[in-house]
């Protein structure tokens, strides 16, 4: 084979690779748009009247996740099944965002931490790497850390809306989450930096709870029976 023939073959391989990446990019853009729609919907819970419509917003968000599952099915067909990590960078960010959104919906519904398996089911992908397109553990953890920041914001806005029990429940949840992350030996630099931000979320929520305490509103919240979810 001549040098020209060798490079012609290489160009053919590069062209195929570029075609795959372009197809992936199109689906990822659609996923990003759906994620923005879900986020816009859920952001309404931070407004005063939004607390009264949490169940309705969660139901609507789950309908959007139906679109996510369809888009994920399309994404799975755009690259060879054994090359997940070769193209992983293309959908890593949006997948982490979708993990956060799924976790936020589950928290609003039940005030519990969603499992990786449950998130995978919501998104229409696998939890186990061996079964194909899956939810990487680090992507799951990154999404959960974003949830912590969102709940810190929700704790502050809860007080503004006159819901004094919710910050107490959020504080308990975030402290349990922090304890869980402390059990992990994180090697990923990006994930480690994200985790370092969790202590600021914990501190922010503790300040909210302390403020409620010195104003005597935490007792009112306890008497009130825990508030609405």
Number of Cβ within 10 Å of residue 10's Cβ equals 10
CB atoms under 10 Å from CB of 89, counted, come to 9
Q: Which helix (H) or strand (E) holds 83?
A: none
Spatial distance between the Cα atoms of 39 and 45, rounded to a whole number of angstroms: 10
CB 51 within 8 A of CB 161: yes
> Could you give the residue ranges of the DSSP H alpha helices within 161-197?
166-182, 189-196
Tell whether 126 is in a known binding site. Answer: no
CA–CA dist 10, 29 (Å, integer):
29
Of how many residues is the chain composed? 229
Task: Answer yes or no: are the C-beta atoms of 160 and 211 closer than 8 Å.
Answer: no
Closest CA to 151 of 180, 172, 137, 181: 172
- Rounded to whole angstroms, the maximal C-alpha distance in the chain is 84
- The binding site for Mg(2+) consists of 150
- The binding site consists of 150
């Amino acid at each position: 084979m001549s040098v020209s023939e060798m490079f012609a073959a290489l160009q053919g391989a590069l062209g195929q690779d570029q075609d795959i990446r372009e197809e992936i990019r199109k689906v990822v853009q659609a996923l990003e748009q759906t994620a923005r729609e879900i986020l816009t919907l859920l952001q309404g819970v931070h407004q005063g009247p939004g607390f009264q419509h949490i169940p309705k917003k969660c139901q609507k968000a789950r309908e959007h996740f139906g679109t996510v599952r369809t888009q994920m099915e399309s994404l799975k067909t755009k690259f060879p099944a054994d090359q997940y990590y070769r193209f992983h960078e293309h959908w890593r960010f949006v997948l982490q965002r979708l993990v956060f959104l799924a976790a936020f919906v589950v928290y609003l519904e039940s005030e519990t931490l969603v499992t990786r398996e449950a998130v995978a089911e919501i998104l229409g992908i696998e939890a186990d790497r061996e079964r194909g397109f899956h939810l990487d553990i680090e992507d799951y953890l990154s999404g959960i850390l974003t949830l912590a920041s969102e709940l810190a914001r929700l704790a502050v806005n809860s007080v503004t809306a006159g819901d004094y029990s919710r910050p107490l429940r959020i504080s308990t949840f975030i402290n349990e989450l922090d304890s869980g992350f402390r059990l992990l030996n994180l090697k990923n630099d990006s994930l480690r930096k994200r985790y370092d931000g969790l202590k600021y979320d914990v501190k922010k929520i503790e300040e909210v709870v302390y403020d409620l305490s010195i104003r005597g509103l935490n007792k009112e919240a306890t008497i009130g029976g825990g508030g609405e979810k």
